[in-house]
Amino acid sequence: MYLTKEEEQILNGEAGETLRQAIEILVALGDIYGADGLIPIKSAQIAGVSYKTIGDAGLEWISDLKGQVKVPAILNPAGMDLEDWERLRISPEFAEKQKAIVQAYKKLGIRCECTCTPYTLEGFSVGYGDHLAWSESSAISYANSVIGARTNREGGPSALSAALLGKTANYGFHLEENRVPEVSIRVECSLKESDYGALGYVAGKIIGSEVPIFRLKDTPEKDELKALGAAMAASGAVALYHVEGVTPEACRLGFEEPEEKIIIERSQLDEVYESRKEAGKAPELITIGCPHCSAAELKKAAELLKGKTVSKETWIFTSRELAKRYPEYIRTIEESGAKVVCDTCMVVSPATNSYSCVMVNSGKAFAYVPGMCGAESVYGNMEACIEEATGGKENKAGGSY
Ligand code: F3S
């Protein structure tokens, strides 16, 4: 891998131990994956923030680092709401460690907005063709697929290293030839809302880490694409997908039809809505906002909850910035007894671990809650989740419990 003179000096430790470690990580990755050199990045998004996932070893590593990031950098969700952690009954010991992790990142010049939807924030713009070092799988998928930016699936340490250097190794999805669809997925039914999360869950299991191009009957909204990508990145390891006539590279580059072809039918999506219900457990906790709710999703949740009262614990996750921007939605949601929670989510917070069955409207949360939180997950659309939260039993979308 070619390094400039300045990069060689950093690797020799002439710019300090933190940058030496950072470039060593990037060079090691570049050598493994055949990178020709380092390229500048526009921004970094750093996972490895929740104390639940990184523990004391992670806290210690981050605290030892010195210096300042060279590009705008932002954090992934932490293990708790940083301003109101007692609300979900987080222990003071956990809160203390979590605050220390966020402080350690802050010292490095990282913006301490903890969200998996950084592309919705002011001052964090991402454009077509931008090179990034992002590390939360749904954000990676959205940046690559819906925006047409270019990022690999970075780990927390490599994204942080890239932020400190302002560069990343040039391999994988930074190169045009690796962004071409490898499998065509034709969906034989019409889709709406949570159907996209179910589709992502089914497709990810089948294709693993391949790059798919979808042929759909409908034109999905941005939030539906967000749900599709998040689920595929969780049940599989998909970092980039295309949708014919919708996503920017599919529209601009006009890909040839891949040889490998898959058809997905309605019955496969219905299985996601129905699965795990045989166990007969009733959800004790309802969660919405994986990935973090957009303004449109907050609005919809507020409309559905207006004038109602929840009878089950209900958490709606979003970024702090969006919660501040839309106080009227937050007020309406919270008047129902549901909680709007920022900086964290149902998967990375330890708060979810004390429930045995969680209802979700996200294919990603559906995939991760059992393994990460030790609870059953059941799937439904947002209407079904709110119906469940407010005591209703009827649901026409197949998502009720
Ligand atoms: Fe975001 Fe947590 Fe889901 S990080 S994508 S809300 S698992």
DSSP string for 168-206:
EE--GGGSGGGGS--EEEEE-S---TTHHHHHHHHHHHH
In tens, the pLDDT along 314-367 reads 999 999 999 999 999 999 999 999 999 999 999 999 999 999 999 999 999 999
Is residue 101 a contact partner of residue 58, using CB atoms and an 8 Å limit?
yes
The β-bridge relationship of strands 43-46 and 132-134 is: parallel
Rounded to the nearest whole angstrom, what is the distance from the C-alpha of residue 358 to the centroid of ligand 1? 15
Q: What is the mean pLDDT of residues 293-308?
A: 97
d(CA 210, CA 180): 10
| Ligand 1: nearest atom to the Cα of 116 | 1
- The pLDDT score that the predictor gives to residue 396 is 40
d(CA 38, CA 57): 28
* For ligand 1, atom 1: residue with the closest CA: 291
3-class secondary-structure state, position 245: coil
Rounded to the nearest whole angstrom, what is the distance from the C-alpha of residue 10 to the centroid of ligand 1? 35
Q: What residues line ligand 1, using a CB cutoff of 6 Å? A: 76-77, 116, 136, 138, 230, 290-292, 317, 345, 347-348, 364-365, 368
Going 351 to 47 to 365 to 116, the CA torsion angle's sign is: positive
Q: What is the pTM of this model?
A: 0.94
193-214: b or e for each residue (b if 16 or more CB lie within 10 Å)? bbbbbbbbbbbbebbeebbbbb
Q: Say which residue the tokens 């601009």 belong to.
A: 252
In tens, the pLDDT along 138-165 reads 999 999 999 999 999 999 999 999 999 9
Rounded to the nearest whole angstrom, what is the distance from the C-alpha of residue 346 to the centroid of ligand 1? 8
Going 35 to 39 to 42 to 44, the CA torsion angle's sign is: positive
| Ligand 1: nearest atom to the Cα of 77 | 4
Q: Say which residue the tokens 């998909």 belong to.
A: 238
| Ligand 1: nearest atom to the Cα of 230 | 5
Distant-in-sequence, close-in-space partners of 307: CB < 8 Å, separation ≥ 6: none
Q: What's the whole-number average pLDDT of the chain?
A: 95
CB-side neighbour CA atoms (13 Å) of 351: 25
| Ligand 1: nearest atom to the Cα of 139 | 5
Q: Lowest-pLDDT range, 36-40, 253-257, 258-262, 277-281?
A: 277-281
